[in-house]
Amino acid sequence: MPVVRDSIVVTSVSLEDSYRHCRNVARRRAKNFYYSFLLLEKPQRNAMCAIYAFMRECDDLSDDPAADKAGLPEAIARWRLQLNRALAGDVSGSAIWPAFCDSVRRYSIPHRFFHEMIDGITSDLEPRRVQTYEELYRYCYQVASVVGLAAIHIFGFQSVKALLLAEQCGIAFQLTNILRDVREDARLGRIYLPEEDIKRFGVPAEQLLSGKEDQQFRELMRFEAARAREYYDKSAPLLDLIHAKSRRSLWALRAIYLELLARIEKADYSVLSNRINVPARTKIALLLRAFLTYK
């Protein structure tokens, strides 16, 4: 059987119930994304929850510690087959499919983005050590940029320039996640900080598990954080290229991730000994600011 955590395996489910299920998944699991969803109009909010629910299913396939790792390639192949069937009109098998397919049709989201998301989780099935920044960029694109590319179809945009900027925004978000999760990922056998950078700053890969936060480690993290900030700066014009009614949602999401990066920097990159996050009260304050700024 496929490895499933948040979906309900069913023969059929109504569109209304499917959207309700996806909203519940997003409410429980989308710690940063869900706050920004609240600033969207209801149809857009529902669509974002449906796309997030699909993305969550993809992530859970590779991240579930109870999963039979030997059977994961087959489970992912079945999940890809379910995706193809759902997009072709057969929405049985999971509670997410009716809402997901309705959202994809409603906002004309290219199907290739969802296959690229699955490609991204496939690359996480085995322990991995990213060798170069080019390899890291490709990974970030598959697991984050494609989410942004799907999202701007829901936001609405006019210029094709928005596509490149959405890609860069996704890179910024994923690099921030990687900086936060260095030790957690290393425990899973995944080292996303490029090997070429680790060697450059003289940080043994084993140190990412040890919790030792010396000067070399902090310099490495500072270098990678500057890389993330560069992509935040590059993608900033995206706000002006999406429909006005969606801007406060994107602004809030960017603000939450920028706050996370700022907290990592303020903590002097002590991510091996601490779990750094953005408190709910800060997220709510940023939502209020977005609401008052973009009317």
Structure confidence at residue 122 (pLDDT): 81
For residue 130, what are its two tokens?
A: 């990213």
Mean pLDDT (the chain) is 90
Band of residue 66 on the pLDDT scale cut at 50, 70, 90: low
Q: In the chain, at which residue ranges do the beta strands (DSSP E only) sit?
A: 128-129, 190-191
Range name among 86-95, 168-177, 225-234, 246-255 with the lowest pLDDT average: 86-95
Q: pLDDT digit string (tens) for 70-106?
A: 677 888 899 999 999 999 999 988 999 999 999 999 9
User: How buried is 48 (Cβ within 10 angstroms: 0-12 exposed, 13-18 middle, 19+ buried)?
Assistant: buried
User: How buried is 266 (Cβ within 10 angstroms: 0-12 exposed, 13-18 middle, 19+ buried)?
Assistant: exposed
Band of residue 4 on the pLDDT scale cut at 50, 70, 90: very low
Q: What is the mean pLDDT of residues 34-59?
A: 93
Structure confidence at residue 178 (pLDDT): 97
Q: Reply yes or no on whether the pLDDT at 3 is more than 50.
A: no
Structure confidence at residue 1 (pLDDT): 34
Smallest CA-to-CA distance from 49 within 70, 29, 22, 31 is with 22
Q: What is the mean pLDDT of residues 243-252?
A: 96
120 neighbors 143 (Cβ within 8 angstroms) = yes
For residue 145, what are its two tokens?
A: 């940029």
Structure confidence at residue 59 (pLDDT): 81
pLDDT more than 70, % of the chain: 93
Structure confidence at residue 69 (pLDDT): 60
Q: What is the mean pLDDT of residues 136-163?
A: 95
Q: Reply yes or no on whether the pLDDT at 124 is more than 80.
A: no
Q: Reply yes or no on whether the pLDDT at 8 is more than 80.
A: no
| Separation of alpha carbons 164 and 50, rounded Å | 23
Enumerate the β-bridge partners of residue 191.
Answer: 129
Q: What is the mean pLDDT of residues 265-287?
A: 95
Structure confidence at residue 67 (pLDDT): 54
Structure confidence at residue 260 (pLDDT): 98
Structure confidence at residue 226 (pLDDT): 98
pTM (whole model) above 0.85:
yes
Structure confidence at residue 73 (pLDDT): 82
User: How buried is 9 (Cβ within 10 angstroms: 0-12 exposed, 13-18 middle, 19+ buried)?
Assistant: exposed
Q: pLDDT digit string (tens) for 180-209?
A: 999 999 998 899 999 999 999 999 988 998
Range name among 110-124, 131-145, 238-252, 270-284 with the lowest pLDDT average: 110-124
With a CB cutoff of 8 Å and minimum separation 6, the contacts of 253 are 32, 33, 35, 36
Smallest CA-to-CA distance from 143 within 246, 54, 249 is with 54
Q: Reply yes or no on whether the pLDDT at 131 is more than 70.
A: yes
